[in-house]
Chain A
C-alpha cells in the first residue's frame, strides 16, 4: 500500500514544482490587479483578432494532423512497408528543429526567390498555417502507434475473416481501441498549435491586425511592458487547451467504466 502513496506523493511533488507553481504564477500575474484589467486586455480589438487568427490556425492544423496521424500510425504499425522505420523517425523530426529554423526553412521555400515562392504563402495566414502544421505534426502519430502495437491484430484479423471490409474493420474494431490515444493526441496537437511562437513569428510578417496570432500578441504586450495583457492572453490559450481536454474526455464512450 505504501507503494501507491509513494508514487502519488512523488508524482504530485514533481507536478507541484514543474506545473502547479508555474501555472499558478501565470494566473496570479494575470489577476493581481483584479479581474477588470485582465478582461479589458483580452477583449481589446487586437487581442480578439489575434485570438481569431490562432483559432483559424488550430482549426486547420489539428484536423489535418489528426487524419494524417491515424493514417500514418496505421501505415507504420499495420502495413509494414519498406521504409516504415525511417518514416516513423521522420515524423518526429519537426520537433527537433528549432522554431526559428522552421520559419527560415519556410521562408526559403515559399519566400521571394524560393522554389515555391511568390504565391502569397508567407507573410499571410497560409504560411502561418503551414508553420503550425509543421510543429504540431507528430503528436497523434506518437499517441496512436503504441496503442496499435499494444492491442495487436487478432480482432482485426477476426473481423476480416468474418467478411468485414477494411473500412468496416477500422470503424468497428480499430477505432474504438485507439479513441483515447487519438483524443490525447488531439489535445497535444491543439496545445502545440495554440502555443507555437517562434516559427509562426518568422513567417507571419507581424502585420498588425492581420497576421498576429495570440502568441505573437503576447510577445507584443510583453514588449510594451503590458504584463497583465501578456499573462491574460496566455491564460486564454491555457483555457482553450483545457477546454479541448475536457471536450475530448467527455466524448468518452459510455461503456468504459474504468
Chain B
C-alpha cells in the first residue's frame, strides 16, 4: 500500500518533471550541406505535428563525406542524412547505424534527383547526350570522384548512359576513359564545380538537378539539360543505433516522407519519393532513367570503379597524364 501511495504522490507532485522530460528531447540532425534550407522549413513543420511537439533540434550541415567521418569519430547524431548511400554504409561498418537501416518501403531514401548537364546560355555546342560529350573540343568540368564522393553519381551516370546506348560494359569503360580526356577541371566539390563553370571554364558541368535548381532559385545564371539516359540519385536517411531518442528520431524520419514534408523538399529542388506533391513544379521524366542497381549497386560499384588502387576510375585518372 505504501509503495502505491508513494508512487501516486510522486506522480502528483512531479507532473512537471514528466512533461519536462518529453520537452527536453533534443534530436541531433547531421546532414550534408545542400538540404540546409529545406530542413530549415521542415523542422518547424515537424514541430507543429503532435509527434514533434516537444522536440528541439541541433543541426549540423557540411560536406557529406566529412559529416560521415565526423559521426564515425564521435559526433553525436540521432538522424543522419547524407548525399549517397555509401556514406551511411561506412557507419554501418562502424556499428553506428543498424544494417537494417534501408529495410523500409523507401529503401532508406528520403529524396531523389538526377544527373544533369549544366551548359552555357543557349547550349551552343548542342550537348544533349553522353555521346555528345565526346565531340571534339568539348570541355567538361566535373569533380574528381576521389575528392568528392558525390561525383561518383556523375561517373555512374556516364557509365550507365553508355550502357543504355547499347555499349557493352567494356565499351562503356572505354567511354569513361575517353570522356575523362575531355575533363579540364576537377573541383573538389559540387559547389566549387558550379563556381568553376560560372567563372568561365568548360562547356558543360556535370551536376545534380537539385543543386542546379537551388542555384537558379538563388539567381545564378544556370541553364541545364537532362540527358535521356541519366541516373536516379537517391539520398539516404537513417536513425543511428547510438541514438538516445530512437522513437522521436524515427517519428521525424517518418514525417519527412509524408506529403507535406515531401512538398517542401520538392520546392527546394529535390524529386520526391512519394507521388502527388509536384504540382506546379517541373521534374521532367526521362525515358532512359536508371538507378544504381542497373549498374551493379553501390557495394559492387565501389569496389569495381572506385577502389583507390584497383578501381576503373583510379586507373583512368591515375594515368591521364602519364
Query: CB atoms of A and B under 8 A apart anywhere in the complex?
Result: yes
Question: Which one, B69-77, B233-241, B300-308, is touching chain A?
Answer: B69-77
Majority DSSP secondary structure for residues of A touching B:
loop
Contact call A117/B61, Cβ cutoff below 8 A: no
1/0 contact string of A200-229 vs chain B (CB within 8 Å):
011001111110000000001011111000
Task: Say yes or no for A118: interface residue by CB 8 A criterion.
Answer: yes
Question: In the complex the two chains form, is B73's CB within 8 Å of A107's CB?
Answer: yes
**A123 on the B face (CB < 8 A):** yes
Asked whether A61 is an interface residue with its Cβ less than 8 Å from the other chain, the reply is: no
Residue contact A225 to B220, C-beta cutoff 8 Å: yes
Q: Residues of B contacting A222 with CB < 8 Å?
A: 191
CA distance A117 to B36 in the complex (A): 29
> B72, A112: Cβ atoms under 8 Å?
yes
Question: Of B60, B62, B73, B214, which is within 8 A of A122 by CB?
Answer: B73
Report the separation of the CA atoms of residues A117 and B220 in the bound assembly, to the nearest whole angstrom: 43
Query: Do B73 and A206 touch across chains, with their CB atoms under 8 A apart?
Result: no
Number of interface residues of B (CB under 8 A): 25
Q: Kindly state whether residue B37 has any CB partner on chain A within 8 Å.
A: yes
Closest Cβ of chain A to B32, distance in Å, is 10
A111 within 8 A of B: yes
Is there an interface contact between A225 and B61, defined as CB atoms closer than 8 Å? no
Shortest Cβ distance from residue B251 to the other chain A in the assembled complex, whole angstroms: 21
The answer to whether B215 and A111 touch across the interface, beta carbons within 8 angstroms, is no
- Is residue B67 contacting chain A, with contact meaning CB distance below 8 A? yes
Minimum CB–CB distance from B247 to chain A (whole Å) comes to: 23
Contact across chains for B60 and A223 when beta carbons are under 8 A apart: no
Residue of B nearest to A114 (CB): B73
* Residue B105 interfacial (CB < 8 Å): no
Would you give the 0/1 interface string for A211-254, flagging 1 where the beta carbon is closer than 8 Å to chain B? 00000000010111110000000000000000000000000000
- Whether A123 and B76, one on each chain, are in contact in the complex, defined by CB atoms closer than 8 angstroms, is yes
- Confirm or deny: B47 has a beta carbon within 8 angstroms of a beta carbon on chain A: no
Known: A206-B67, A224-B36. A112 touches B73 (CB 8 A): yes
Chain A residues whose C-beta falls within 8 Å of the C-beta of B34 in the assembled complex? 223
When the two chains form their complex, are residues B37 and A111 in contact, meaning their CB atoms are under 8 A apart? no
Q: Render B56-93 as a binary contact track against A, CB cut-off 8 A, 1 for contact.
A: 00111110001101101111100000000000000000
CB-CB under 8 A from B73, the residues of chain A are: 107, 111-112, 122-123
The yes or no answer to B33 lying at the interface (CB within 8 A) is yes
Q: Is A118 a contact partner of B74 (Cβ separation < 8 A)?
A: yes
Whether B293 is near chain A, meaning CB under 8 Å from some CB there, is no
**Chain B interface mostly helix, strand, loop or mixed?**
mixed
Chain A residues positioned under 8 Å from B3 (CB to CB) = none
Given A222-B191, A224-B37, A225-B215, A123 and B58 contact (CB-CB distance below 8 Å) = no
Are B62 and A206 in contact (CB-based, < 8 A)?
A: yes
Bound CA span A113–B220, Å: 44
Contact A208 B62 (CB under 8 A): no
* B-chain residues with CB within 8 Å of residue A220 when the two chains form the complex: 33, 36, 61
User: Min CB distance, B213 to chain A, in Å?
Assistant: 12
Cβ–Cβ contact B218 & A225, under 8 A: yes
CB distance from B17 to the nearest CB of A (A): 26
A123: B residues at CB distance < 8 A? 70, 73-76
Q: Which residues does chain A contribute within 8 Å of B76, judged by CB atoms?
A: 123
Beyond A201-B66, A224-B36, is A208–B60 a contact (Cβ under 8 Å)? Answer: yes
**Are A205 and B70 neighbours in the complex by a CB distance under 8 Å?**
yes
- If the complex has contacts A202-B66, A223-B191, A224-B36, are A112 and B61 also in contact, measured as CB distance less than 8 A? no
A240 to B36, CA, bound (A): 29
A123–B75 Cα gap in the complex (Å)? Answer: 6
Name the distance in Å between A213's Cβ and chain B's nearest Cβ. 13
Chain B residues lying within 8 Å of A202, measured Cβ to Cβ, are 66, 70
Q: Smallest distance from the beta carbon of A45 to chain B beta carbons, Å? A: 13
**Bound form: Cα–Cα A207–B215 in Å:** 24
For B39, the closest partner residue in chain A by CB is: A208
The contact string, 1 if C-beta is below 8 Å from chain A, for chain B 205-249, is 000000000110011100000000000000000000000000000
Closest chain B residue to A108, Cβ basis? B73
For the complex, give the distance between the alpha carbons of A122 and B58 in Å: 16
What are 17 A-B interface contacts by the 8 Å CB criterion? A107-B70, A107-B73, A111-B73, A118-B74, A122-B74, A122-B75, A123-B73, A123-B74, A123-B75, A123-B76, A202-B66, A207-B58, A208-B59, A208-B61, A210-B58, A223-B33, A224-B36
Contacts A207-B58, A224-B218 aside, 4 further interface pairs with beta carbons under 8 A come to A206-B61, A206-B67, A223-B34, A225-B214
Top-3 shortest CB links A-B: A112-B74, A111-B73, A225-B218
